[in-house]
Each structure stands twice: as structure tokens, then as C-alpha cells.
């Protein structure tokens, strides 16, 4: 690998390959975690309205900027439009609130979190809105077609609120449809990717369209164990014998092996840790060299097990 970034279509912006994910960082430690991550060397941060900690992430960034550790232009900030704001009248207000929460004038990349237009929830009533409206326990879809939502995303670019736009959790069919009407092609597709779920056919086609891939959940089920039995159905990748064997071979951690596997496929990675030593380990992956036999051993783990699946949580077969 000769570069530590990918170059995004249209703008030519450089998106760092090694990012820092903000999901499941508790508010009381979040600002300090982000500040420490910047000191470690991270410059790419991946957040979302749904994570519920954008204000705190912004505070950590502000502290680092105020201390002169980084400038705003050194950072690549990513966040996401939540499902309840897909209606064309709600996209811009949602983005503007998020900019205020982060304390920023613009995002580097703004993503549609899921291709699921949920019924609108007034932020004054519940924020982040999560998946259900009011006291309901069922998914409620509203009539907010993606072509109208995407047109508003494009206006965000034209008005300088975000330099780039993209999507998360879209399959090939959803992307093909989008490419028939998009005036601004998605710069990035963010999806679940790890040796259990390599999604090779999808990623090959997406990359052929000039769209870059961000891999989330690089450690497989690790982030989902606390969310119920679904996350316990598979052996933890970080403890898998094949992964641990390669970690021993290269004298690195299991996590570093999994991140290197993704980087070898030119995927951007966004691991998260609140532990400073693990932050450093997750960042220190550029010099690891996996050989052909190493990659074959990891590829052999393919089982197509998906852990971030609305079918499990809400009986919604998004990826069927």
C-alpha cells in the first residue's frame, strides 16, 4: 500500500483509510476518548445521529483544535442522516442540527444511514429518534422516496454543508436505482464487512462504479454481544483460532490482523476502542504484511453471518 487514504470521486478529497468509529462510546467519556484518539493520530471520525453522542464527539474535537493539535482541515468528519429524516423537508434541518452538535461548519462526508424511510419523529419529542415512533413497537414506514431524499442530500453539497455524500447498508439493487437519477454519485458505501461476511461480489461491483467502501464491524460479532443472543451465535473473530494463529505468526494482535485483512482489500476501516493502548494498536496496522496463505486462511472463515441485521431486531428483511 503506497497511500494511507482513498481519493473520493468528484471532489478528489483524501479520505483516511484508518478511521475511528464513534458507536457505543458512552457520553461521560466520549469527549476524552475522541481527544485521545486524535493524539494517537486518528484524523477520520465516523459518527451518526443514532449514536447519541455527537455533541460529546464535537467537544473532543474542539479541545484538540483549541490546543493546536490539529486544524479543522486536517480532519475528515463523517456522520449520517437518520431514517426518520428522509422526507425532503427534513433532510436539511437534520444536517444543520448535527453540524451544530458537532460544532462544525461542514461535514466531509454525510451518509444516508439505512435505505429505510421511517415515520418522522420530532426531535423535540425524542432525539435521537431511534427506530420506533412514540410508544410503538413496530416499524412504521413513511412515503419518502429515496430519489427525493437524495436530491436533498445533493443540495447539502451544493450549499456547502457537506463536501461529499454517500450511503450505508445499501445493496446492489438500491445502488443501481440510485445511479439512474443521482446527479452526484455516492462517494462511499459503508457496509458490514469482516471475514465471516466478506461480501466480495457486492464490493467488487461497487468499486467498479468508482464508489469506495468503508467496512464497519471489522471484528465481527464483538460489538453485538451486548445487544442479545444474536451476537453470540458465532465464535468471536478476535478469539478465533485461525485469527489468533496469524496474530502469533506476525507478533501482533488479533484485531490488527482483521484490520489488515480489510486494508488489503482497499476498504476504509473504522474500529473503536476506549482503551488508549488498543487505539494505538488499531492505528498501527500499515506495516503488517499478510501473505497469500494468511489471506486464504481468513477467507476460509466466510459463513455469510451478518450481525447488524434489521431482520433480527425488527423482522425487517432489508438484505433478503
Query: Phi and psi of 167, rounded to 5°?
Result: -140, 160
**CA–centroid distance for 94 within its chain:** 18
Q: Which residues contact 137 (CB under 8 A, 6 or more apart)?
A: none
The verdict on whether 51 is a catalytic residue reads yes
**Annotated binding residue 212:** no
Measured distance between the N- and C-terminal CA atoms of the chain, rounded to whole angstroms: 35
**Pairing of β 14-16 and β 5-7:** antiparallel
CA–CA dist 187, 211 (Å, integer): 5
Q: Name the residue with cell 452526484.
A: 184
Alpha-carbon torsion, ordered 88, 72, 211, 116, to 10 deg: -30
Catalytic pick among 51, 110, 120, 216? 51
Q: Give SS3 for 115.
A: coil
Q: Say if residue 57 is exposed, middle or buried (CB neighbours under 10 Å; 0-12, 13-18, 19+).
A: buried
Binding residues for substrate: 113
> Mind telling me the catalytic residues?
51
Amino acid at each position: 500500500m503506497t497511500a494511507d487514504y482513498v481519493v473520493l470521486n468528484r471532489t478528489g478529497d483524501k479520505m483516511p483509510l484508518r478511521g475511528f468509529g464513534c458507536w457505543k462510546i458512552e457520553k461521560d467519556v466520549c469527549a476524552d476518548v475522541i481527544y485521545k484518539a486524535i493524539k494517537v493520530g486518528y484524523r477520520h471520525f465516523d459518527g451518526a445521529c443514532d449514536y447519541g453522542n455527537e455533541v460529546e464527539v464535537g467537544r473532543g474535537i474542539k479541545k484538540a483544535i483549541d490546543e493546536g493539535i490539529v486544524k479543522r482541515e486536517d480532519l475528515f468528519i463523517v456522520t449520517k442522516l437518520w431514517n426518520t429524516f428522509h422526507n425532503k423537508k427534513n433532510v436539511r434541518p437534520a444536517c444543520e442540527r448535527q453540524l451544530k452538535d458537532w460544532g462544525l461548519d461542514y461535514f466531509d462526508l454525510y451518509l444516508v444511514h439505512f435505505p429505510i424511510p421511517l415515520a418522522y419523529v420530532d426531535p423535540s419529542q425524542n432525539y435521537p429518534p431511534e427506530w420506533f415512533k412514540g410508544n410503538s413497537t413496530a416499524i412504521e414506514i413513511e412515503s419518502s422516496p429515496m430519489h427525493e431524499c437524495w436530491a436533498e442530500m445533493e443540495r447539502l453539497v451544493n450549499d456547502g454543508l457537506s463536501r461529499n455524500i454517500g450511503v450505508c447498508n445499501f445493496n446492489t439493487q438500491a445502488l443501481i436505482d440510485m445511479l439512474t437519477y443521482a446527479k452526484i454519485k455516492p462517494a462511499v458505501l459503508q457496509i458490514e464487512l469482516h471475514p465471516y461476511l466478506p461480501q466480495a461480489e457486492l464490493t467488487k461491483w461497487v468499486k467498479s462504479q468508482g464508489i469506495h467502501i468503508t467496512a464497519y464491524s471489522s471484528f465481527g460479532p464483538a460489538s453485538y454481544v451486548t445487544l442479545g443472543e444474536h451476537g453470540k451465535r458465532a465464535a468471536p473473530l478476535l478469539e478465533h483460532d485461525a485469527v489468533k494463529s496469524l496474530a502469533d505468526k506476525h507478533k501482533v494482535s488479533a484485531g490488527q490482523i482483521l484490520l489488515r485483512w480489510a486494508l488489503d482489500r482497499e476498504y476504509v476501516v473504522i474500529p473503536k476502542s476506549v482503551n488508549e493502548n488498543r487505539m494505538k494498536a488499531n492505528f498501527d496496522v500499515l506495516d503488517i504484511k499478510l501473505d497469500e496463505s494468511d489471506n486464504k486462511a481468513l477467507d476460509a472463515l466466510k459463513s455469510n453471518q451478518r450481525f447488524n441485521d434489521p431482520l433480527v431486531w425488527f423482522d425487517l428483511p432489508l438484505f433478503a
